[in-house]
Structure 1
Amino acid sequence: MTMSRGILRNALAALLLMLLVACGFQLRGEVELPPELSSVTVKVADAYSPLKRNLEDALARAGARAQAAQGPVAVLDISRNRMSRWPLSVGRTGRVQEFSMRYEVTMQLTDADGEIVVPKQDIQLERAYQFETLQAQGTPGEEEVVRAELERDMTQAILRRISAAVATP
């Protein structure tokens, strides 16, 4: 009886795997940049923002080189880069129990010839997190985790916009 359950379980797993393959699912790969975007400079309103470093690293993985000493380069311009937080809920004692953090970016990408590849657009990401008043020592760590996740997600959101723009004929 246990042998038939094992066979049934394996058959079910194989069926689910075939359905997953048949639906066209594939992991999202790195962005591949066209030749006109092979040399990109990232300009961020806050030059010391982690977003600048994250974007430069992600673009390098996509095949872009750092700005060349001479010649035209594509420019990824991040004109607004703002993180803000505000209370979402307040408990019976009047203390904040939940915060929301929003990351707002305005971006535009022009190629080496000055042509606009990705027009100026706003991207907003938002996350909520709990604020435990009894465990206030651990709460700043949670806020930093949410902040780091938003920065990583914003990098991916910008790259997806670039990927969609260069994939469109």
Structure 2
Amino acid sequence: MIKRNLLVMGLAVLLSACGFQLRGTGTNDLTIKELDLSARDAYGTTVVQLRQVLENSGVHVYNGAPYKLFLVDEKETQRNLSYASAGRSSEVELSTELFFQMQGRDHLPLMGDKIQVQKIVTHDGNNLVGSDSEIIQVRKEMRRELVQRMVLRLSLFTPQQLDALQQTADNKAKADADALKAAQEYEDNTPKQSPVEVPVE
């Protein structure tokens, strides 16, 4: 009995060392402790779920935080991988893409990327209602996975990295402003040519 318990404990330690975790039991260590969160669809399911997960992970989500995660767009697509005659099954690929942007002071974009989740389902031509219900359920699972991946991406950021991205964005904004100012001053100081008068015969 003791040997079996030791074996089970040893396997658990080994699997944990390999990074194995049961779905829903893992935790994402977020070094970001405060974050502003918004989305183009402010009341969409994705942003609501993401807010809940972040808050449950100990992140203070509020307007005006130093850094802001903006969910730019979310696209759902569906395409047939195989075609079948009426009453036969076919494979359908479901895809969801989430485009996001991390913003700093003055809404300066620090970085942007996208997360994509894909699933393949079987569409039963003899059970259209059941197939549609399955697709709806799979879409829900995909959204949960999308949120998990977004949190994982956030866990890769450290405050130091965000500060460095902010500094780079500030420098670029200042360089752009200086270049625009110099161009405007050059235009203002350039003598304007008088229009050429055409002699009247």
TM-score (norm 1): 0.75
Q: Which runs of 5+ in 1 are unaligned?
A: 1-6
CA–CA distance in structure 2, aligned partners of residues 52 and 29 of structure 1: 19
For 1:29, give the aligned amino acid. T
Q: Which runs of 5+ in 2 are unaligned?
A: 162-201
What residue in structure 2 maps to residue 47 of structure 1?
42
What residue in structure 2 maps to residue 109 of structure 1?
102
Contact 1:45 1:78 in 2 (8 A): yes
Could you say what secondary structure the match of 1:83 adopts?
A: strand
More helix by share: 2
1:61 matches 2:56: yes
Q: What is the CA RMSD across the aligned residues, in angstroms?
A: 2.9
Structure ID, larger Rg: 2
Greater shift, 122-131 or 17-26, is seen at 17-26
Deviations 1:78-125 (A, max 9, x none): 1121111111111144976121110101112235686877x2111111
What residue in structure 1 maps to residue 143 of structure 2?
151
CA–CA distance in structure 1, aligned partners of residues 127 and 20 of structure 2: 41
**Count of residue pairs brought into register by the alignment:** 155
TM-score (norm 2): 0.64
Distance 1:134 1:33, change over 3 A: same
1:84 matches 2:82: no
Distance 1:94 1:19, change over 3 A: closer
CA–CA distance in structure 2, aligned partners of residues 26 and 103 of structure 1: 25
Shift of 1:142: 0.3
